[in-house]
Structure 1
Amino acid sequence: MQEKLINRTLLEIQDYLSGDQLRRLKDVLTIECSKYLITEQKNEVVIYDETSDIAAYKQFFVSKKIQGLSSRTLNLYMQTINLFMRSVRKPFSDVTTNDIRLFIANREMIDNVSKGTLARERGCIVRFFKWLCNEEYIAKDPGTRVEAIKVPKRRKQEFSELEVEKLRSATVNSKEALVIELLLSTGCRVSELVSLNFRDYDQENDSISVIGKGNKQRTLYLNAKAKMALNHYLKDVPHITGPLFFGQTVGKEMTSAGVQKLVKRLGYRAGVANVHPHRFRRTAATLARRHGMPIELVMNFLGYESIDTTLKYSMIGDEELKLSHQKFVS
């Protein structure tokens, strides 16, 4: 009963609190409720059905929000689960392994989605039903025997040194220069970039704290080019509080979409194809590896917990492999 009360409370208030606040509230409620014997007063009219699919669905997203998942990731989960449930049209407890397999097969053969999308959607569905089973909303997990999807490993290209210099030359104001230098110096995600705040900037150590993916804090470091770009920007837009750099309105932070548009315009002016913020992140990781940074430090640099994931962002090219072979094997 105690757990049901806590879950109901979190469900009702989730829209008004952040993931950190929800975690704190859950801890407080767990401690305080343990001091009392809680029983449910039965009424003739049932207002909330804890065992219903709707309740389970909502509670799943509360739990994921508490884990610190970003709103983008939560939306991907929601879209995938909604798509799957519209397809099977069954209660959660009646979903079978073959239902999930059939959904994946239809997505591949009829909707022609990529292997990467299939793997992501399978992951969302399987994790959802595993959670339902662990929380005892369903008796058996239909996702345990759903085969993993192999995604072809293709090397995604970072910017060449020439392309980086072309992009630098194409900047027409201090904000554009600051954006690309911060992306290259820190290897940060675009969501982290737009959340940078002046209060977290350590001018003495040329570093800035950021809350990254999974609500984890880490320190980003500015190299000489990024520090110079920031100084130039602060001369043009003097401020010591608020966002590190502004969007179209002074005082308001830039959006992720705004950064996407900015670097896309830069690419067009510079004559560089396929310019997007994530490619700067890949470039920063590859440059770090190329200059000898150990893979464990690259992992910390990018804010990852898995070396396997880090390696995907810092793959060594064929030419570098050839030079290394001549140096160490010949």
Structure 2
Amino acid sequence: MEEKLVNILNEMDEYLNIAQMKKLQEVLLKNLTENVAAKVEITNADYLQMFLASKQIEGCSERTLQYYRVTVERFFQSISSPIRKITTEEIRGYLSNYQQNNRCSKVTVDNIRRNISSFFSWLEEEDYILKSPMRRIHKIKTKQQVKEIISDEAIEQLRDHCACTRDLAMIDLLYSTGIRVGELVNLNISDVDFEERECVVFGKGDKERKVYFDAKSKLHLQKYLSSR
């Protein structure tokens, strides 16, 4: 019987993902094995590993995966109950205690809530649990601060202190397009279309988008490239 189960799992390996393979193994052992000694149990740590594998396939960055891992592992350290037995009240208590013990802001606590909610939503979608205990825990209200914008005078001061054409091109391109510094660093010449005054940048999660720059940025960028 064990050999047959192994053959079935090997044949299905190329068609199913890690989570589905785990579930298939559990169902086969439960229904087909003769004289089952004990039901195969998936630990909380196993569920977390399957969740991270799923998020990796979806294209989440290593930084995001690490954030998920740390958040959920800390949650498991405080709540040792099996996944199927964790209640809404336990999670509410954990979030409340976390905020009090760490004296963190509502924004930080809401980020933790969102990560844990993503984990339980995945468990529900994969049919590991019937209903996510996070459904009744809503987004934590936080203050929305209006960010200050840089003034025209400040931009001119930045331009005046540029020591070379490279710095001036960088300042104008950042200000004109609104792209992130990391996106500017990864920008290639082939990504820039001077005729249309546009460039293709890759943001968080390797998402591609077009941004547009003004005539001043075009002139300074072309001057810098010709001087290299």
TM-score under structure 1 length normalisation: 0.54
Instruction: State the 1:5 CA deviation.
Output: 5.1
Instruction: State the 1:188 CA deviation.
Output: 1.5
| Matched residue, 1:179 | 170
Distance 1:130 1:224, change over 3 A: same
Amino acid at match of 1:7: N
Instruction: State the 1:154 CA deviation.
Output: 1.5
2:103 counterpart SS class = coil
Does 1:147 find its partner at 2:144? no
Instruction: State the 1:105 CA deviation.
Output: 0.9
Check whether the contact 2:162–2:168 (CA below 8 A) recurs between aligned residues. Answer: yes
Structure 1 counterpart of 2:93, from 93, 102, 117 = 102
Structure 1 counterpart of 2:224, from 229, 233, 253 = 233
Instruction: State the 1:112 CA deviation.
Output: 1.1
1:6 counterpart SS class = coil
Does 1:58 find its partner at 2:49? yes
Distance 1:169 1:215, change over 3 A: same
User: Larger C-alpha radius of gyration, 1 or 2?
Assistant: 2
Query: Matches of residues 231-310 of structure 1 in structure 2 within 5 Å?
Result: 231-237=222-228
| Structure 2 unaligned residues grouped into runs of 5+ | 1-8, 22-27, 34-39
Check whether the contact 1:208–1:221 (CA below 8 A) recurs between aligned residues. Answer: yes
| Matched residue, 2:36 | none
Amino acid at match of 2:108: T
Amino acid at match of 1:153: Q
Amino acid at match of 2:84: S
Instruction: State the 1:125 CA deviation.
Output: 0.7
Query: Residue by residue, what CA displacement relative to the aligned partner does 1:162-215 show, whole Å, maximum 9, x if unpaired?
Result: 222222222223333232222111112333222212222223222211233344
1:171 counterpart SS class = coil
| Matched residue, 1:34 | none
2:16 counterpart SS class = helix
| Matched residue, 1:301 | none
| Matched residue, 1:190 | 181
| Structure 1 unaligned residues grouped into runs of 5+ | 12-38, 43-48, 238-330
Alignment identity in percent? 35
Instruction: State the 1:123 CA deviation.
Output: 0.8
Alpha-carbon distance in 2 for matches of 1:111, 1:4: 45
Check whether the contact 1:10–1:62 (CA below 8 A) recurs between aligned residues. Answer: no
Amino acid at match of 1:132: L
Alpha-carbon distance in 1 for matches of 2:58, 2:41: 21
| Matched residue, 1:84 | 75
Check whether the contact 2:48–2:69 (CA below 8 A) recurs between aligned residues. Answer: no
Check whether the contact 1:174–1:232 (CA below 8 A) recurs between aligned residues. Answer: yes
Alpha-carbon distance in 2 for matches of 1:174, 1:86: 54
Alpha-carbon distance in 2 for matches of 1:10, 1:168: 57
Distance 1:144 1:9, change over 3 A: closer
Distance 1:183 1:196, change over 3 A: same
Instruction: State the 1:53 CA deviation.
Output: 3.1
Amino acid at match of 2:124: C
Q: Which moved more, 1:107-116 or 1:90-99?
A: 90-99
Amino acid at match of 2:164: N
Amino acid at match of 1:120: N
Check whether the contact 2:177–2:211 (CA below 8 A) recurs between aligned residues. Answer: yes
Check whether the contact 2:201–2:210 (CA below 8 A) recurs between aligned residues. Answer: yes
Instruction: State the 1:128 CA deviation.
Output: 0.9
Alpha-carbon distance in 2 for matches of 1:61, 1:67: 10
Structure 2 counterpart of 1:170, from 155, 161, 168 = 161
| Matched residue, 2:17 | 7
Does 1:207 find its partner at 2:198? yes
Check whether the contact 1:56–1:137 (CA below 8 A) recurs between aligned residues. Answer: no
| Matched residue, 2:5 | none
Does 1:124 find its partner at 2:115? yes
RMSD: 3.0
TM-score under structure 2 length normalisation: 0.75
